[in-house]
Amino acid sequence: MNMIVGKRQIILATLVVALTVAVYVNYKFTAAGGEYIATEAVTQEDRENYGDAQFVDAQIENVSQSNDYFAQARLTRSKSRDEAVTAMRTMMDDESLDSAKKAELNMQAAKIAMAIETEGKIENLIRAKGFEDCMVYCENDKVDVVVQTSGLLDNEVLQIRDVVLGETDVAVENISIIEVK
């Protein structure tokens, strides 16, 4: 058998790896073993004050809405990436496409795979800093960070920027941090 690896096989392998990484990242971030919300211990005085129970319910509803936001955002990001990979695969299968365009598509696939890896790494590092949840979008020379918090302090903004700067080569002015309460 002739074991020569052609351009198509390399491109197909690259796209398969990119798709596999996207599916894995999607699986890791959307796997839900249940939503647990930490609450403070309830004393006898709290049980007697019925107004507090209504306040706690409002907090749980807000947490649920923000969790829904992040779950929806992950799903949307995953769907758009899957569509991009499918479109690239369709174009790569086109026989009339010249080698320069195929090489460009291959580079785009590699960029998508790199962005997926970088976003996942930044999200994990930000969560390790103590934030409940976050989403990171890396696109070209811009990074958007959406973080769940009740209010960002200046030192928290600096922590997030340090994480982003440590993992990417973007300029500070191209980093945006958005709060979700």
Mean pLDDT on 21-31: 73
Residue type, 127: R
What 3-state DSSP class applies to 42? Answer: coil
Against a cut of 0.85, is the pTM above it?
no
Residue 65: its pLDDT value, please? 57
**Could you tell me where the beta strands, DSSP code E, fall in the chain?**
134-139, 142-148, 175-180
Helices (H), 93-136: 99-128
Mean pLDDT on 7-36: 72
> Taking Cα atoms as reference points, which of 157, 119, 121, 120 lies closest to residue 139?
119
How sure is the predictor about 109, in pLDDT bands with cuts at 50, 70 and 90? confident
Mean pLDDT on 93-115: 84
- Cβ atoms of 89 and 126 within 8 Å: the answer is no
Torsion angle of the four alpha carbons 79, 85, 87, 92, in this order, in degrees rounded to the nearest 10 = -170
How sure is the predictor about 66, in pLDDT bands with cuts at 50, 70 and 90? low
Flag whether pLDDT at 46 surpasses 60: no
Residue 4: its pLDDT value, please? 66
Mean pLDDT on 8-19: 83
Flag whether pLDDT at 38 surpasses 50: no
56-60, 79-83, 97-101, 102-106: least confident range: 56-60
Mean pLDDT of the chain: 77
* Rounded percentage of the chain residues whose pLDDT exceeds 70: 75
Which domains, ranges and CATH numbers included, belong to the chain? 7-30+39-180 (1.10.287.4300)
Torsion angle of the four alpha carbons 6, 23, 91, 136, in this order, in degrees rounded to the nearest 10 = -120
CA 179 to chain centre: 15
pLDDT in tens, 73-96: 888 888 888 888 888 888 888 888
Mean pLDDT on 108-127: 89
Flag whether pLDDT at 149 surpasses 90: no
Residue 84: its pLDDT value, please? 83
